[in-house]
Amino acid sequence: MMKTTTIMIRKFTLLFLLIAGLSAGFTSCDDILFTQSDRYMSDDDHTLGTANDSVYTLIGILTKVQQLSDRYVLTGELRADLLNVTPVSESFLRELNSFTIDKATSEFADVKDYYGVINNCNYLIAKADTNLVSMASKPFVKEVAAAKAIRAWTYFQLVLNYGQAKYYEKPIISVTETRNDYPVFTQEQMIDTLIAQLVPLVNVPKPSYGTLFGVESKYLFIEPMFLLGDLYLWKASRTKNVADYEMAATWYARLMDKGSYVTGTRAVRWMDANFKSYIDTWSNTFLSTIGNDELISVIQLSSSGFTGNTSRIYTLCQEFQLGPTDGLLDTYALQNYAFVASSAPTYTSGDLREKAAILSVTITGTGTTDNEEPKRMIFKYLNNTIQLYRVGLLYLRYAEAVNRAGKPGLAFAVLKYGLNPANLANNLRIPATEVADAKEYIRLLDNDKFNTNVGLHNRGSGNSEVNTRFAFPLTLATLQDSILFVEDNIVDELAMETAFEGNRFHDLMRFSEHRNDPGFLAHKVAQKHPDYNFYLALLKDKKNWYLPQR
């Protein structure tokens, strides 16, 4: 619809200056929800009577989502094992890192912005007439579906970070309604509720607004299939039901098929066996949104407050207030890189994704000694892009699901070989017993569109197909041993591929649930703290995994 309306697309830049006012007009209930304001907005004060109304309202929702971006990254990473504070970090970062959040004062305890997004979504969903026909189409259908997916993602973030959330589907538009007794949903209740809401949305096209916030608009909306896969994966971590794990894998595979998403050839590679210089086609994953086939869903921030919401994350990295942990650097260093120029690989140590994600900076003129270690600056956020869903993560989540469904060989192939028709048919790479049932999540990948799929480990560790040091052991005694071996490798691959992107603490939560072992998360996180025993004991208690909220 909107791609053909050239004048409207060109107006979006000017609309940036008006969005705050427009959004406030539609959503003055944001402030009502968590204050003692006596303002009141009649239920009939605002209706979405034209397609333009829905566009403006949805853009307003996206600006609200931008306000969650820094919190998404910091709550997902700083509490985990890959990101750490430094001697110059501000107190709000130290408190999050040390699990000492003050409920009364910390911004991380304030859930108002989450409910601001939810209330905006509720407003659009309630006010849009999905039966309205304009220019032979129903313009509100896409916008309503997009709002429902954003609302579901936001509710999911609430229960992941806080353990529970107040749930409501109608917009709060008066002071009286803020005093209603809304139900409080646990994670399990929320997951089941969101699954039911998302399934009808999977075939609804995303709104198409051309370029918005400097990125193709389709990337700014939550992909329902990816979120469904995540919801089933979390559900399965509690139920331990193979059918739930398989439903997670199925939704991930359906998305791979729908988007023709392949792992491709992006990587950081040594140019020769001298291991002196390398070529990097992987960092484009997070340094550019132009022609980036890795992207699925992102939050795009502005580089200037004049044109939109900005992020502090990259500034914090530039100021060395955030840095990688020794544990992450060790994970990179322990990999065996396989360079192939002849029949046999030449090996060196280290995964090159470290060099592409973390810049070693030597500060001159500070009076420091020559042997002082360089500072390390994370520059994944140089482009002000917060990646929620991307192809590498999609395949690793698929591997996690099929591994726990009892198919570790298939899962390991995601890392070492890549899932394509040739490898699915190769019994030396994937056991025939694991693909013989031809489940949908296997069958969909047995298609020539996936011929360019290669192992995710190739992205930083050379040619993993011939890497005999990265292989499935033949000595594992039981299926459970195999599942744990592969899962440990998936955990490491997630660290190297998706470090600092906002997923890690929740990933560790989920892997701990798979294993019925809160000590798994506790050990990983405690290792970055000087007082290991204190944090090990603290985080073995799952109630300490959640933030306080006000």
**Torsion angle in degrees (nearest 10) through CA of 225, 231, 235, 240:** 50
Which of 453, 503, 494, 502 minimizes the C-alpha distance to 353?
Answer: 494
Tokens of 487: 């899962």
pTM for the model stands at 0.91
For residue 320, being part of any structural domain is answered with no
Q: Which of 144, 166, 200 is the last residue of a domain?
A: 200
- Is residue 213 assigned to a domain? no
Give the burial class of 435: count Cβ atoms within 10 A of its Cβ; 0-12 exposed, 13-18 middle, 19 or more buried: buried
CA distance 301 to 386: 8
Determine the 3-state secondary structure of 268 from DSSP: strand
Residue 445 lies in a domain: no
* 144 is a domain residue: yes
**Among positive and negative, which fits the CA dihedral 461, 467, 468, 472?**
positive
With respect to residue 104, please indicate whether it lies within any of the assigned structural domains. Answer: yes
Which of 183, 200, 217 marks a domain boundary? 200
The verdict on residue 25 lying in a domain is yes
Alpha carbon separation from 382 to 260, 286, 347, 358 (Å, rounded): 28, 8, 32, 11
Give rounded-to-5 percent helix, strand, coil for the chain: 50, 10, 40
CATH of the domain at 153: 1.25.40.390
Query: Domain end: 178, 200, 222, which one?
Result: 200
Residue 299 in domain = no
Residue corresponding to tokens 């990337």: 219
- Give the per-residue pLDDT at 370: 52
pLDDT, residue 464, reads: 97
Tell me which residue range forms the domain holding 530. Answer: 503-545
The pLDDT profile of the chain, 550 residues, written as one tens digit per residue, is 333 332 233 333 333 333 333 333 333 344 434 433 333 334 445 566 565 677 889 999 999 999 999 999 999 999 999 999 999 999 999 999 999 999 999 999 999 999 999 999 999 999 986 665 554 556 689 999 999 999 999 999 999 999 999 999 999 988 888 888 899 999 999 999 999 999 999 999 999 999 988 899 999 999 999 999 999 999 999 999 999 999 999 999 999 999 999 999 999 999 999 999 999 999 999 999 988 999 999 999 987 766 678 899 999 999 999 999 999 999 999 999 999 987 789 999 999 999 999 998 877 655 455 556 789 999 899 899 999 999 999 999 999 999 999 999 999 999 999 999 999 999 999 999 999 999 999 999 999 999 999 999 999 999 999 999 999 998 999 999 999 999 999 999 999 999 999 999 999 999 999 999 999 999 999 999 999 999 999 999 999 999 999 9
Compute how many other C-beta atoms are within 10 angstroms of the C-beta atom of residue 10.
10
Q: Looking at residue 177, what is its pLDDT?
A: 85
Name the domain count of the chain. 2
Whether residue 58 is contained in a domain is answered as: yes
Q: Are 220 and 300 in contact (CB under 8 A)?
A: yes
Length of the chain equals 550
Looking at residue 49, its pLDDT comes to: 57
